[in-house]
Amino acid sequence: MYTKIHHIYGDGITLLSWLIGAFKPKESDDFTPFWAIKRDLTDNGAATSSKNPLKIIINLTRYFIDISTLLLSNTIRMIKPNRTDNAIPFSGHRTVLTGQVTAERAMATCTLPLPEVLKACKLTRSTVNDFMLTVIDIATHRFLKDYKCDRFEKPLICQMPVSLRVPGDQREGNQIAIALVKMAHGRLDPYKRLRQVVNSNFLVKQEVKTYSPTAYTHASLFYQTCSLICELLHISNKVRPLGSLLVSNVPGPKVPLYFGDSQLEAIFPVSTIAPGGGLNVTLVTYNNEINIGLLCCNEKLDSLEPLTDYISDSLDLLLKSISDPSVTIDDLGEKLRDEKLTIVEDRVKITKV
């Protein structure tokens, strides 16, 4: 069963909740399509006439301060980048995955065991999002090597949708912004790459908390609009993309669901491609599995099927590296910049015995 819904109706969490609301936790003859289920419209917070005028002024003042600070900070970092900063807009790598978006698509799917990932996350004090970002980062590097796109001096940049909903917020519509996350670089130890991603994710979360949700959302929309203008002018192949890939993680049902007397075996998401292209990876957890949908333009590549094998292999490597420090990745082709190291930094090569 294939269902197509425009993203304007809601974010991934909202749309998935609509879809699974039509299924039952046990076999049943009763089935109502998700579009026919009646829902109580909730207050979307747009009406402000009943709010305190002073509070409105305070919120507007904070909004203008936040968005001005955020845009200015990003502009300064674009002019004078620092390797310890968060990722900056339009610093992604141009690869076979990025560029002008066309109508053609390459798609692939794969499934990973959720219990193993959850166990590893507990051992490494990381989240499922951290862990899977690392797996996808390693796999993407291996995939790009097949197309001779592997001489990177900086980490790949990932566009990551972040939910701005507060606990208990059940409003419809989109409540997300697109954050930019630095992936790993310069380490052949999968576990050390995981720690790099954990740190990058932490910095992004701190940044999101620093600014008001409205300001962060509008700043995100501003950069997406700039990418869209590049698309309309057909210059996306000549400018750096916002990110080389987009990864979103949507938590789904933990128990099996049923369509009549048939069990729902998997939910594979097929998401949209952002302006400037890039690989779109969407993960949906369901019934102790992680269902992954991969999508990109196929103008510059043959298939995404090899990437599904690389993802599975990368997961195995990362799991093994937790208890075995000698486990290393094949050379990912990353170039290390010549720079002076501080007393707390050292590049130690691990040699297998």
Domains of the chain: 7-36+51-323 (3.30.559.30)
Burial class (CB in 10 A: 0-12, 13-18, 19+), 346: exposed
In sequence order, the 6+-apart residues with CB closer than 8 A to the CB of 298 are 104, 105, 106, 304
* Segments in the chain below pLDDT 50: 46-49, 348-353
3-class DSSP state of 73: helix
Single out the residue of 251, 304, 279 nearest to residue 95, CA to CA. Answer: 279
Q: How far from 304 is each of 70, 121, 145, CA to CA, in Å?
A: 36, 27, 13
pLDDT of residue 350: 44
Q: Residue by residue, what is the 3-state secondary structure of 102-138?
A: CCCCEEEEEEEEHHHHHHHHHHHCCCHHHHHHHHHHH
Helix H segments across the chain? Answer: 12-20, 53-79, 114-124, 128-146, 190-210, 213-232, 305-323
Contact by Cβ (8 Å): 12, 248: yes
pLDDT of residue 121: 95
| C-alpha gyration radius of the chain | 21
Q: Distance between CA atoms of 268 and 283, rounded to whole angstroms?
A: 8
pLDDT of residue 46: 47
Starting at the earlier edge strand, list the strands of the sheet with 279-286. Answer: 106-113, 289-296, 279-286, 245-250, 157-163, 176-182
Q: Distance between CA atoms of 291 and 117, rounded to whole angstroms?
A: 13
pLDDT of residue 344: 53
